Chains A and B, each alone.
Chain A
Amino acid sequence: MKRFSIPSPLSVLSAIVIGICVVAILWPSALTSGDPATGVAPEHLLPPDSAHWCGTDQLGRDVLTRIIYGARETLPAAFVATMTGIVLGSVIGGFAALSGPAVDTLLSGVIDVLLAIPELLLALTVVILTGFGPVHAALAVGISQTAGFARIVRNLVRTLRSQTYVEAARLSGTGFWGIVGWHILPNTFRPLLGMGILRYATAILSLATLGFLGYSAPPPTPEWGLMISEGRDYLATAWWMTTFPGLALLTVALAANRLSQAMTNAGEERP
């Protein structure tokens, strides 16, 4: 299927969402004049209106302000998590593909085992080892994503290794590291980028899950998962406290998914 090279409106919208997130991470004060940590006590549990677009929480803190500052908590951490997964996965997968059959069988077995364990349980195993906190949560999510990347990289490198041009390079005297550096690594970037963005969306959701379960940042932090968890106590009276942070998560995850899809399509279009 041939696609137009003009990006679809949805892709543009997704790029805008990501752009707003970047602004929220770098200059949250450009988007809101409020303070995420201090509330105005008499203004607690106000429903959304023109002054507080997303209402206020039990301490009178503006929910929208907290969502904006929350971008800083989850989004960079999810990036770190996915990068951890990509780097560890590439090392393991690359090593498996380039070593002898014995090492490959062993590592593939380990990858299979890791893939058989649900990601959340794997992340919880890391959390129980390292303790709570945002850095540990990011590490845990990264490790839980490693096996997926390792599998992709291993298969990719094995395919690339048997390509004719790699064979030609080898015959013309290029050394092992020359082949890996020049012919194999650069060709793993695009598939890894597409998958990386997709997994980034998953990492955002997983990190928020750990935050929701209380294993990430401690309470005053405006972390989205934690905000939803805190809002659970006011479900019957203050729906806005859980609904808006969830919408923020949903929107960002959708945008990242969409961009990953656009990236994959653009890759297919290339001759």
Chain B
Amino acid sequence: MNVSHFPERRGFAGHFLVQVGRALLILWGAFTLTFILLQMMPGDAVMIRFMDPELGLSPEQIETMRVLYSGSSNPVFQYFHTLWQVLHGNFGYSVQLGVPVGKLLSTALPVTLRLAGVGFLLSLVWTLAIAVGASLLPLRALRQAVHALPGLWSAIPLYWSGILIIQVLSFRLHLLPVVGVGAWEGVLLPGLAVSLPVAAPQAKLLLQQIEETERLPFVMASRTRGASRVSVFFRHILPNSVIPSLTMAGLSLGELIAGAIVTETVFGLNGLGQMTRDAVSGQDVAVLQAVVLIGAAGFVGANLAVDLLIPLIDPTLRMSHRIGGGKSGS
């Protein structure tokens, strides 16, 4: 983010509070936006489901269902009603399945969070490995090959890489079966599939940043003092280059949740993705709204976490703190 990380007048706590407020505002905005959008639904999803002649419901019964599922037909009342409910962790009913969305979430969310977690960790590993490989590998051709990986990965369709991984790792090499495995083994391969496109922009940014840091005078200075390539890289170049891609990693958490939708389809996992697909096919508005809010929450939450972490990692910020002066960042 291009927000300055340490404005002089507010301390870190103040700065963090402002960021929390901003995050809450964005979540509220996301709620409002999805509410407005989904109010525009052509035809009432409730009606579509219950007007099915096979159910043989009378108009009165349909009206009862309508009130039960959507509260009231007054949009302003409904907005505040829904907002109040969501604030209490109640995301309403799935029109399609007739169960509370919260109940669906309680089984689906852990699967997706595991998948996103594994994908996120692997993407960090890839990013670091690419940075190290592109800088320290012995042959110039090898370094260039590693350098080209992020560009390649960013163009890979997510579901396709998943399918390739199944074909190669499961069917050909029999490394890991796709079905009938435990909760964590089950998300390893999908996590690997998700990690590639997520790592791509992070790694690209880190490589750019490393190139810039390498040109700074203090790097030259430590080289001339006789420090080895490896030690200069790990002690000076990497710590001074890692911040922008850390911010990028924060931004990618929402994308990870979105990527899970596609990946879960490929690997047949019953998580948020499966839930979302069913919701879109069945015009299940409440479910989709919950998923969108979770996606947005992942995004703003990760941003907050990165905001907290950056002062601990950024050497220039640590330094300015030790000296006692604030730093108006760029």
Contact = CB atoms under 8 A, between A and B. Distances in A.
A129 B40 contact: yes
A101 interface: no
A152 interface: no
Contacts of A116: 26-27, 29-30, 254, 296, 299-300
A209 interface: yes
Interface in A188-206: 201, 205
Contact of A201 (B38, B155, B167, B288): B155
B157 A205 contact: yes
B247 interface: no
Contacts of B259: 120
Interface residues of B, number: 49
A246 B292 contact: no
Contacts of B262: 120, 209, 212-213
A214 B261 CA distance: 13
A205 B255 CA distance: 14
Interface in A107-128: 109-110, 112-114, 116-122, 124-128
A125 to B, nearest CB: 6
A237 B78 CA distance: 52
A141 to B, nearest CB: 13
A112 B29 contact: yes
Interface residues of A, number: 43
Q: What DSSP secondary structure best describes chain A's contact surface?
A: helix
Interface string B94-137: 00000000000000000000000000000000000000000000
A246 B157 contact: yes
Nearest to B252: A118
A60 to B, nearest CB: 22
B267 to A, nearest CB: 11
A121 B257 CA distance: 9
B161 to A, nearest CB: 8
A146 B202 CA distance: 23
A225 interface: yes
Nearest to A256: B155
A212 B280 contact: no
B26 A128 contact: no
A121 B156 contact: no
Given A235-B163, A246-B160, A128 B283 contact: yes
Contacts of A205: 155, 157
B320 to A, nearest CB: 27
A121 B42 contact: no
Contact of B38 (A120, A125, A242): A125
Contacts of B160: 228, 242, 246, 249-250
A121 B291 CA distance: 8
Contact of A110 (B29, B154, B159): B29
B19 interface: no
B159 A228 contact: yes
B171 A236 contact: yes
B276 A124 contact: yes
Interface string B246-279: 0000000011011101100110000000001101
A-B residue pairs, 3 tightest by C-beta? A113-B29, A118-B258, A246-B160
Given A118-B258, A212-B265, A228-B157, 18 more contacts: A113-B26, A113-B29, A113-B33, A116-B296, A118-B255, A120-B258, A121-B258, A121-B261, A121-B291, A125-B292, A128-B279, A128-B280, A225-B157, A225-B159, A232-B163, A243-B164, A249-B157, A250-B160
